Structure 1
Amino acid sequence: MMTHVQKNPFLPANYQELPGAFYREVPALPVKKPELLIFNAELATQLSLPDNFADVHPDWLSGCAFDPGQPALALAYAGHQFGQFAGLLGDGRAALLGQTENGSGLRHDVQLKGSGPTPFARGGDGRAPLGAVVREYLISEAMAGLGLPTTRSLAIVKTGENVLRQFGPEPGGILTRTARSHIRVGTFELAARLDTGKSVKALFEFVHQRYFAELSGPREVLREIIRRQAELIAGWLSFGFIHGVMNTDNMSIVGETIDYGPCAFLDDFIPDKVFSSIDRQGRYAFMRQPEMALWNLTRLAETLVPLFDNDTDRAIRMATVELQAFQPVFEAAFNRRFAAKFGIANDEHAPGFIQDSLKMMAEARLDFTLFFRRLTQCAKTGERSLVLELAPDANALKHWLAEWAGRRHPDAGPIMAAANPVYIARNHRVEQAIKQAEDGDMAPFLRLAKALKTPFAVQEGMDDLELPPRAEEEVRRTFCGT
């Protein structure tokens, strides 16, 4: 295992413009036998990286390269975890290599996950199981295919070393992740606890200049962060996505989905569904995600209050007004998305119909994605049988279909096709891809990744990827991999 001293191929990370409390420099920690399994050439092109990047710079994707003039960074942040303040957290197993800049001048962070322990590792090994890396790659790229703001996955490296986890030794992996920003709500929580206000002001000015330069001040920036999160969570719900661990350190201030740990997609529509093994109280259950997003945003607003006005009471009132906007923005986005999914007009009658329809789906335990897929086919052909066969008792569904037919938009077919994916990263398919990858077979991964790249289009030979799991295939619990 050797560290190779090389010139860093990425631009310097501008986080070093922040006070030193927000980051630590980390050395390269080489692995035994790195093997590049996946390189996302399409994403590399979007980031303006050269086509041959993986060939020219393989050591940078495995954590085996080091540039003493531009060291990697582990970012510091705090956070509330499951409602309790957890103090200083930080990147315990991640190293920010630098940034890219595309032709439009847009910068993206490039970060290794699983590259070894940092000063924030808190006794952990700093490594990642290959399974967790494969999961994040597939699901983050699935979210991108669905059109939702998300961090992206550039590469997967198998380390040639095992990591010890809950169920024993597992092969290790490193993910190269890209993001518009790695600043989180928890970063502001750290800043608020560092001093009497200088750190919050410095962090806010950094965020304002780099991500919200078109906005005039802290109140407008908070308003935009709230809007983005409300839109994002509505998007999650429209595709049946459960993040699983919506702690404040896992909420990005630029509105991207970040930190895919015990995340999952619904099979049967169960509003209070929980997959995460660590969410024992159901805090982050499927339909609680909007509430939890607002809770996190309230923690963010608390840190920004001193920037709003010198009069604390007035500043609190300002923050409260901005937070009160979350629910109407979320509801508007939710109703817009679900009206499209059902193929109905997004008018004053839509919210009631949507809620009644979701109640029917829950009572019938309908597969969330397949129901909307079949309903889309029904809108195009008029054939109801494929929808009716999804319910054990078709009577309630027949009654609902009759009402839906009376509300359906004349051009419902194409509207619904654009809102209802054919393919999602079904949990059992992700698990199958993980197990095969651990055994050295990347074919199931590649096949699933191909389908998820264009999830709204029917792809030849992919029919099986539409289907829900058989009873013995169902995934009931998901794990973080830390």
Structure 2
Amino acid sequence: MTVHFPFQNSYSALPDSFFARVAPTPVAAPRLIKLNRPLAVQLGLDPDGLEPPEGAEILAGKTVPAGADPIAMAYAGHQFGQFVPQLGDGRAVLLGEVIDKDGIRRDIQLKGSGPTPFSRRGDGRAALGPVLREYIVSEAMFALGIPTTRSLAAAVTGEHVIRETALPGAVLTRVASSHIRVGTFQFFAVRRDTDAIRRLADHVIARHYPELLGAERPYHALLGGVVARQADLVARWLLVGFIHGVMNTDNSSISGETIDYGPCAFMDAYNPSQVFSSIDEMGRYAYANQPRIALWNLTRLAECLLPLFSEDQEKAVAKAQDILGAFSDTFSDGYQAGLRKKIGLFTERDGDNALIQDLLDAMAKNQADFTLTFRKLGDAAGDPAADDARAQFMDPAAFDEWARRWHERTALEPQTAAERQAAMHAVNPMFIPRNHRVEAVIQAAVNDDDYTPFEEFVKVLAKPFEGQPDYAAYADPPLPEQRVLQTFCGT
């Protein structure tokens, strides 16, 4: 059976300075370990054609499908605040683009497909563990309703990669609205290539913000659109306890999707200062710092766009500052509205923000589990006698004092207890990709070639808001000896 990809290649039609043409490096013995069949159908692909060996060879980079125009994209970036003028896809190749069932253009990229001109002496490969982590977390984020890149497939290569030790090699097939980043604009800005910046901005508007095509000042509107999407995205991260871990400008997507799941993690106990990434030694990308860093990244984007705003530098800067000024309100509005939903408030009243903050403060002081506290609060909304939320607190009296005020507040709402519980359960997940579960799945695959835990975990995470009593153990926080204190990038 011939595997057909209906590729359209708009990015590779841009000037050669935007990318390097490079094919994936063939691998020894590709084997498909997971195909996301519903996503394949959404992309207009035949999953039955992708599962046989012929499909595995494509998804592992051994064979380039007809119609592909493989490229490695060029970009720069600030990494932990330090600017690097040339980064680029050092271990990924964009095969091409397809138009999905909803008419949306999607990139199909192989990650871990071998060296490129941007590899900087790296091997261009990926180990199995990081591939599984990205598959698990990106698909969990999709199920949680958070804009994200997605995972079409994971394949092992039949080869080993050398990190601290020899590890099974793998390739992830990643799907994105695009792989254009803040760092893509920075690549041309540092070279003072205004024509390329304009060409890139026009491409982004046409692809991601077509409603701006007729705008009087399209580049101003573009920055405003990216600001709005990033503010909304980071608010959604915080509402589920997600920590990206490496919010460099080259990991900041212009489309507003979550991209590059390296040392990412979900919090167990609520801690605004929580850091997991082994390379974030100063806590730059801690949980509560993420809104500030997102704005910092957007400011770098604004700097790149200044030549398109006005020839008068002072006027260009003033306009950029005005547009960036919308970030804080957009983020705060989305975050606070999300928190009100999480505690079952349908209207906004004076004192709500203080009520919510008092809960968060008590959670931090009492090491309450972030996910379970909100989920079990939904149980208490339906049954005041339910005390599982209370059980999350080291000092249950701290919860009791807050819960009294919460019940007084919810009594002012017109909804029934059942309606409130249903609404809260619809926004407060039961299941997240807890770090200890992710690590256990990876170890089973790497050490024993056993993908049964991976398959079951992915199945559970696809329905995060459902009770799933047969899989209730997946909701449990880690025991002390199971806690994962650090996550790793995997490059």
Q: Which residue identity is paired with 1:46?
A: Q
Comparing 117-126 with 343-352, greater Cα deviation is found at 343-352
1:433 to 417, 420, 441: 441
Q: Which residue identity is paired with 2:322?
A: V
Query: What pairs up with 1:137-152 in 2 under 5 angstroms?
Result: 137-152=135-150
2:205 to 208, 213, 218: 208
1:405 to 407, 417, 424: 407
Give the TM-score normalised by structure 2: 0.94
Q: Secondary structure at the match of 1:99?
A: strand
Q: Which residue identity is paired with 1:26?
A: V
Displacement, 1:104? 3.3
Displacement, 1:159? 1.1
Unaligned runs of 5+ in 2: none
Tell me: CA distance 1:100–1:70, structure 2 relative to 1, closer, same or farther (3 Å). Answer: closer
Displacement, 1:196? 4.2
Report what 1:3 is aligned to: none
Is the 1:191–1:203 contact (alpha carbons within 8 Å) kept by the matching residues of 2? no
**Structure 1 residue 74 corresponds to structure 2 residue 90:** no
1:84 to 82, 85, 103: 82
Report what 2:457 is aligned to: 448
Q: Which residue identity is paired with 1:235?
A: R
Is the 2:231–2:330 contact (alpha carbons within 8 Å) kept by the matching residues of 1? yes
Q: 1-side partners of 2:6 and 2:296: how far apart?
A: 36
Q: 1-side partners of 2:3 and 2:74: how far apart?
A: 25
Tell me: CA distance 1:328–1:69, structure 2 relative to 1, closer, same or farther (3 Å). Answer: closer
Query: What pairs up with 1:149-188 in 2 under 5 angstroms?
Result: 149-166=147-164, 168-188=165-185
Query: What pairs up with 1:207-286 in 2 under 5 angstroms?
Result: 207-215=204-212, 216=215, 217-286=218-287
Query: What pairs up with 1:408-419 in 2 under 5 angstroms?
Result: 408=410, 409=413, 410=415, 411-419=419-427
Q: Which residue identity is paired with 2:209?
A: F
Tell me: CA distance 1:8–1:47, structure 2 relative to 1, closer, same or farther (3 Å). Answer: closer
Report what 2:188 is aligned to: 191
Displacement, 1:451? 1.1
1:44 to 30, 40, 47: 40
2:124 to 123, 126, 143: 126
Unaligned runs of 5+ in 1: 1-5
Q: Percent identity?
A: 46
Q: 2-side partners of 1:297 and 1:317: how far apart?
A: 15
Is the 2:77–2:187 contact (alpha carbons within 8 Å) kept by the matching residues of 1? yes
Is the 2:9–2:69 contact (alpha carbons within 8 Å) kept by the matching residues of 1? no
Q: 2-side partners of 1:419 and 1:106: how far apart?
A: 26
Tell me: CA distance 1:182–1:364, structure 2 relative to 1, closer, same or farther (3 Å). Answer: same
Is the 2:368–2:394 contact (alpha carbons within 8 Å) kept by the matching residues of 1? no
2:468 to 424, 438, 459: 459
Displacement, 1:17? 2.3
Report what 1:364 is aligned to: 366
Write the deviation string for residues 404-438 of structure 1: whole angstroms up to 9, x where unpaired: 11112444212211110010011111111111111
Displacement, 1:21? 1.2
Q: Which residue identity is paired with 1:370?
A: L
Displacement, 1:255? 0.2
Query: What pairs up with 1:320-339 in 2 under 5 angstroms?
Result: 320-339=321-340
Write the deviation string for residues 110-160 of structure 1: whole angstroms up to 9, x where unpaired: 000011111100011111110000000000000000000000000010111
Give the TM-score normalised by structure 1: 0.96
Is the 2:6–2:67 contact (alpha carbons within 8 Å) kept by the matching residues of 1? no
**Structure 1 residue 15 corresponds to structure 2 residue 23:** no
Number of paired residues? Answer: 476
Q: 1-side partners of 2:100 and 2:65: how far apart?
A: 23
Report what 2:485 is aligned to: 476
Q: Secondary structure at the match of 1:32?
A: coil
Q: Calculate the aligned-residue CA RMSD, in Å.
A: 1.5
Tell me: CA distance 1:8–1:118, structure 2 relative to 1, closer, same or farther (3 Å). Answer: farther
Write the deviation string for residues 219-252 of structure 1: whole angstroms up to 9, x where unpaired: 1111111000000000000000000000000000
Q: 2-side partners of 1:373 and 1:196: how far apart?
A: 51
